[in-house]
A and B are shown apart, each in its own frame.
Chain A
Amino acid sequence: MTSKNIVITAPNGLHARPVGELVKLVKSFADSAVTLSTPVKTVKASSMLSILSLGLKQGSEVEVKVEGGDEAQVLEAVSSFISSITE
């Protein structure tokens, strides 16, 4: 298992459209289980409903965890996607 903490920089937080893209990206890594955690709860990154229910705003911190598959590569791909959201 490998993990990393990221601070959301997107001005509108993690809202529906980019989350849809994120879910697609996560689903493309069939061998890895990816989760997002806040101090309150942990959700699967393959569920749009779950991620949206976290209500991540700009400045929120989230922990990305990857288990299985090429963990380092998947972690890098997912965290850089989240950091690259600018809308």
Chain B
Amino acid sequence: MTIKGIGTRGLAAGRAFMKPDVHMDVIFCGDATAAFKEAYDAVHADLEELAEKEDVFAAHLEMLEDPMLSESIEAFLGEDMPPVAAVQAACEQVCGMSEDTDDEYLRARVDDVRDVCRRLERKLCGDVFTWGDMEPGSVVVADELLPSDTAEMDMSKVSAFVTHRGSRTSHVCIIAGNHGVPVVVGTDISGITKGDVLLVDAYAGEVIVCPTPQQMKDFEARLDMEESSLGEVYEHRFEPAVTREGKKIPVFANAGNIGEVVSAMEAGADGIGLFRTEFVFMLSNQLPSESIQFETYRDAVLACKGKPLTIRTLDIGGDKALPYMDMPKEENPFLGLRGIRFSLAHPEIMCPQLRAILRASVFGPVRIMFPMVDTVEELSQALACLDECKLQLTQEGISFDRDIEVGIMIETPAAVIMADKLAQQCSFFSIGTNDLTQYIMAADRGNASVSYLYNALSQPVARAVAMTIDAAHRAGIRVAMCGELASDLNATALLLGLGLDAFSVASPAVPSVKENIRK
């Protein structure tokens, strides 16, 4: 049997390891309060152990201990409700009460409450499921995978993910991409049972369930071929990617922290094309000072060992909130105060960040990149702020790279349309295809029912990419791409044909994208 879905990249074979659905129809008889107490204690012990490794579970533990939740559950138990129903009812009551709030942080806690309640329900149903039981080489099969699932499992035992829900840019695909694990999402998993042999072809978005001996043999041959060609490709990872026409194309990597910069260099990246700075702002429960930021950016520059580091200014707002900032709830976060809009509205956050980046620029080649730029006015304002910071540093006698290059992300239709004007004010563009695709197609990238529209290789998106590159080249500036599309080996030839000057991809994809450019 072959099932179809949406795939990422890679091939893998393994036995199915199922994340079970909870069967809520268990008939309960006995002492409900005692059963709840027992489940509570067991979940508490589990979370305490998990919290030592991952912070997300410390937050879950806090919610489990919150008297509002446990009292609500006890009240429902007092009305003779069976324990699982009581947990569900309490969960809805607590979450419902808090969903009306405009406190961003509280709404994140609501998600934690739901996660904790699922855990309690599982315990109450006698579900002894843990990710610790997973055998090495497993293909994880699930209706949906939550961030707590991937945080809890040992990724070195996972050979592939197959899920019913999710899209190519959902959480599980991003985590899997960082580990080089293939994923097929949006597929019907009802025919799979635990231990089934699965052949996962993420390139084609196909999973063969219980293959015939012939299918098995063919797949093994493909795996061998991929492995040997990957091995060869890997050996050439430090060599430059030069096209047949003799044009040298830098292949950069995307990184979200210092560790990822280090692994990018090991993977043969020609530099970092997108250094996300959000992590610096998430490390503590207050705004990071200029000096903390400076130290972080300096360390990243040094980890690049002389190769260029493109630092993107804070891309926060809407769906990605800073827990310690009181950020108003927005009806449409993706159309709200995010990226450069947020920075320009908060000069007290923007200026220290720019100063910190400038100060780090004496340690190696640094570029500054502004996200979500829509208009020439926004770019002018950001550049004025940067000039002000340079002036301050000069007056304070602090050195920085006076010729630091400034570029912008192209990720909105407005920026594509105004690319010719924007190109006159900056040194490079980097096309962010994940957001650009969702804005061009007006299709939410997390919504599976419109995922047929969310295709970065579709004509409207390809035309937008072409328009951007043409406008940039006419103004004499370079264009890179840092979205998922840049890692897509089916798109490399097209992107080179459109004149793309540089790629910025997930670290594991660097060697194969380089090899693809050489073809």
Could you say which interface size class chain A belongs to? Answer: 10 to 19
Q: Check if A50 is an interface residue, CB within 8 A of chain B.
A: yes
Count the B residues whose beta carbon is within 8 Å of the partner chain — how many?
Answer: 19
- Tell me the minimal C-beta distance from B329 to chain A in angstroms: 12
* A residues 4-22 in Cβ contact with B at 8 Å: 12, 15-17
Q: Are B101 and A49 in contact (CB under 8 A)?
A: no
Question: In the complex, what residues of A have CB within 8 A of residue B68's CB?
Answer: 43-44, 47, 49-50, 53
- Tell me the minimal C-beta distance from A10 to chain B in angstroms: 10
A42 to B374 Cα, complex, angstroms: 47
Q: Check if A79 is an interface residue, CB within 8 A of chain B.
A: no
A55 to B103 Cα, complex, angstroms: 9
Dominant secondary structure of chain B at its interface with chain A? helix
Q: Closest chain A residue to B106 by CB distance?
A: A52
Q: Check if B98 is an interface residue, CB within 8 A of chain A.
A: yes
* B residues 350-405 in Cβ contact with A at 8 Å: none
Q: Are A15 and B103 in contact (CB under 8 A)?
A: yes
* B residues 61-105 in Cβ contact with A at 8 Å: 62-63, 66-69, 94, 97-98, 101, 103, 105
A36 to B252 Cα, complex, angstroms: 55
* B residues 311-347 in Cβ contact with A at 8 Å: 323-324, 326
Question: In the complex, what residues of B have CB within 8 A of residue A48's CB?
Answer: 62, 66, 109
Question: In the complex, what residues of B have CB within 8 A of residue A50's CB?
Answer: 66-68
- Tell me the minimal C-beta distance from B322 to chain A in angstroms: 10
* B residues 458-490 in Cβ contact with A at 8 Å: none
A43 to B69 Cα, complex, angstroms: 12
Give the interface of B toward A (CB within 8 A): 62-63, 66-69, 94, 97-98, 101, 103, 105-106, 109, 113, 285, 323-324, 326
Given A48-B66, A49-B94, A53-B98, 7 new contacts (CB under 8 A):
A12-B326, A16-B103, A17-B105, A17-B285, A49-B68, A50-B68, A52-B98
30 intermolecular pairs with C-beta atoms under 8 Å apart: A12-B326, A15-B103, A15-B105, A15-B326, A16-B103, A16-B105, A16-B106, A16-B323, A17-B105, A17-B323, A44-B67, A44-B68, A46-B67, A47-B66, A48-B62, A48-B66, A48-B109, A49-B66, A49-B68, A49-B94, A49-B98, A49-B106, A49-B109, A49-B113, A50-B66, A50-B68, A52-B106, A53-B68, A53-B98, A55-B101
